[in-house]
């Protein structure tokens, strides 16, 4: 499978717990993006990497959120001290230098 | 915050009819893209139109772009029940590499 992979597909966690999601982009894509989508809304930009450098972060990304992309390959998104408002679909996408995004199937987070 | 606004929010049609969705945006763009999302799934890229293009076709899809009005439309001709999904426009601005998505149009095609 040469698409974008996200793991896990679903995550249910108790409020206050930490969660970590993983994204494996298409190998030759140097750009990687994280988006968040709530029910009935379009995806909202969270952050993006070019290779291992995190180039932009949204104001939506509070200090409880952190993203990494060590070695410019896979990326992780960690949410600390989860809140019910963090419940959403977290989408990862990758892209080469020219426009053209490939999205993963997402990780659906439910905070109870 | 989301930049694009899409119209209508929801659209119901019969198979064989055409579906038109509109998107408006706020700032200068390099390109505008349309994506499709089936319920609970990831987004699938449909078509990209650059800021210097006015119209583009791909199979049953036709996209127009009017940069003077900061608007775009997506036309799906001869719709099928399998076209039922949410459709989002997304813009890539001139000073950024990220996509800003619209609010989406939910299309329902009845057999």
Residues of chain A in contact with residue B102, where contact means CB-CB under 8 angstroms, are 42
Among A69-78, A91-100, B74-83, the minimum mean pLDDT is found in: A91-100
Average pLDDT across chain A, whole number: 93
- Contacts with B52 (C-beta within 8 Å, 6 or more apart), sequence order: none
Of the pLDDT bands very low, low, confident and very high (cuts 50, 70, 90), residue B20 is very high
Residue to substitute from A26, A43, A55, interface B, most B β-carbons within 10 A: A43
Query: Which parts of chain A are beta strand (E)?
Result: 5-7, 10-13, 19-24, 31-37, 44-50, 53-57, 65-68, 75-79, 88-95, 102-103, 107-111
**E strand or H helix that includes residue B48:** strand B43-50
User: What are the backbone dihedrals phi and psi of residue A71, each rounded to the nearest 5 degrees, phi first?
Assistant: 65, 10
Please answer yes or no on whether B31 and A56 come within 8 Å at the CB atom.
Answer: no
The string of pLDDT tens digits covering residues A69-81 is: 998 899 999 999 9
User: What pLDDT score was predicted for residue A59?
Assistant: 85
Q: At residue A2, does pLDDT exceed 70?
A: no
How far away is chain A from the Cα of B38, in angstroms, using its nearest Cα?
A: 10
Q: At residue B2, does pLDDT exceed 60?
A: no
User: What pLDDT score was predicted for residue B3?
Assistant: 62
Q: At residue A1, does pLDDT exceed 80?
A: no
How far away is chain B from the Cα of A22, in angstroms, using its nearest Cα?
A: 15
**3-state SS, residue A85:** helix
């Amino acid at each position: 499978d040469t698409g974008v992979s996200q793991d896990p597909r679903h995550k249910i966690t108790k409020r206050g717990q930490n969660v970590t999601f993983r994204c494996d982009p298409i190998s030759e894509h140097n750009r990687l993006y994280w988006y968040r989508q709530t029910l009935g809304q379009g995806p909202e930009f969270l952050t993006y990497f070019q290779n291992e450098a995190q180039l932009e972060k949204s104001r939506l990304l509070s200090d409880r959120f952190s993203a990494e992309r060590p070695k410019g390959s896979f990326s992780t998104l960690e949410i600390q001290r989860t809140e019910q408002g963090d419940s959403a679909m977290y989408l990862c996408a990758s892209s080469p230098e020219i426009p053209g995004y490939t999205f993963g199937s997402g990780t659906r987070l439910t905070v109870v | 915050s989301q930049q694009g606004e899409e119209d209508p929010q929801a659209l119901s049609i019969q198979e064989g009819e055409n579906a038109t969705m509109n998107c408006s945006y706020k700032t200068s763009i390099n390109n505008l893209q349309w994506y499709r999302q089936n319920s609970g799934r990831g987004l699938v890229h449909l078509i990209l139109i650059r800021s210097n293009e006015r119209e583009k076709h791909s199979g049953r899809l036709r996209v127009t772009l009017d940069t003077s009005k900061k608007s775009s439309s997506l036309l799906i001709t001869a719709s099928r029940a399998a076209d039922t999904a949410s459709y989002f426009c997304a813009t890539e601005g001139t000073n950024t590499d990220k996509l800003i998505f619209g609010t989406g149009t939910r299309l329902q095609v009845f057999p």
